[in-house]
Amino acid sequence: MNTTILDGKKLAADMRADIASQVAQLKAEHGVTPGLGVILIGVDPASTSYVTAKEKACEEAGMYSQDLRVPANTTQEEALALVQGMNADPRIHGILVQLPLPKHIDESAVINAIAPEKDVDGFTPVNVGRMMIGQTCYLPCTPHGIIQMLLKAGVQTSGKHAVVVGRSNIVGKPVAHLLMRKAEGGNATVTVCHTGTRDLAAFTREADILVVAAGRPDTVTGGMIKPGAVVIDVGVNRIPDATKKCGFRLAGDVDFESAKEVASLITPVPGGVGPMTITMLLYNTLESARRACKGDG
């Protein structure tokens, strides 16, 4: 199989260059710098690394970035106060609360406190509801990034059978909706598989487009893939590896080596979907700043 590796890093770099150009134009025409506020509660290595990457991406795009990093024993009331402070700050056009939160904090309460017009992660019930009924909203970043990857790669989704493995609120459910909506990058017939699905391979082998967001390495192998299918691997798993300086290697939810022998197009891990997530966060923050200039925030 002549398989194409979909380079998410290059696509993200191209999109970020365009975003930086539009940020500069917004500054020149309206004197407004798009601002992203990030709240990180506790010290989780993966979350800390991710937040640092977002901060760097904002700087490279010419955006204003405000990081609030607070200890794990921060109370729920204090967390809500941090969100309300960013809601009221005109310099902040987008708010991101880094998940997961410590167990003593109600995640839903904190997310729901974000003003919908600043919910650039697309997680609040208002934006989720708007997405479901086709109204203008901020689309969740990873699912939106996946759709952009398919579009940029010239993948035809209309009339195709898409199978999504995973039903999380962050990836599985929203990407299934985006794939089936009547819009560019959608109009597919969608099947959603999960931990309750019997004989997963029977479904994945029928997929023209296979999106795997199961949160478990090697959930899908080459023998479970329809020849010529497009495979989007969303998983990021840390596998112990003594040969690596850091002590681990990153792997997706798809066994890449066997899958690349069958798929027509596949995303690698790392360097596939991951870079697009932060890119779409910048995209949404820029859009929020534009709306604020028009008084639509």
Note whether 114 and 122 are within 8 A (CB).
Answer: no
Instruction: Provide the pairing of β-strand 237-240 with 248-251.
Output: antiparallel
| Dihedral of alpha carbons 291, 293, 294, 297, sign | positive
Query: How far is it, in rounded angstroms, from Cα 265 to Cα 191?
Result: 20
Among this protein's residues, is 121 annotated catalytic? yes
Query: How far is it, in rounded angstroms, from Cα 31 to Cα 19?
Result: 16
* CA nearest neighbour of 142 among 284, 276, 7, 287: 276
The token pair that represents 250 in the structure block: 């990153």
Options 22, 118, 121, 208, the catalytic residue: 121
Note whether 286 and 26 are within 8 A (CB).
Answer: yes
Query: How far is it, in rounded angstroms, from Cα 128 to Cα 139?
Result: 8
Query: How far is it, in rounded angstroms, from Cα 73 to Cα 94?
Result: 25
* CA nearest neighbour of 53 among 278, 281, 270: 278
Query: How far is it, in rounded angstroms, from Cα 56 to Cα 130?
Result: 30
Q: Which amino acid is at 17?
A: A
Among this protein's residues, is 54 annotated catalytic? yes
Query: How far is it, in rounded angstroms, from Cα 216 to Cα 269?
Result: 13
- What does the angle CA 134 – CA 138 – CA 139 come to, to the nearest 5 degrees? 75
Query: How far is it, in rounded angstroms, from Cα 173 to Cα 49?
Result: 26
Please list the active-site residues.
54, 98, 121
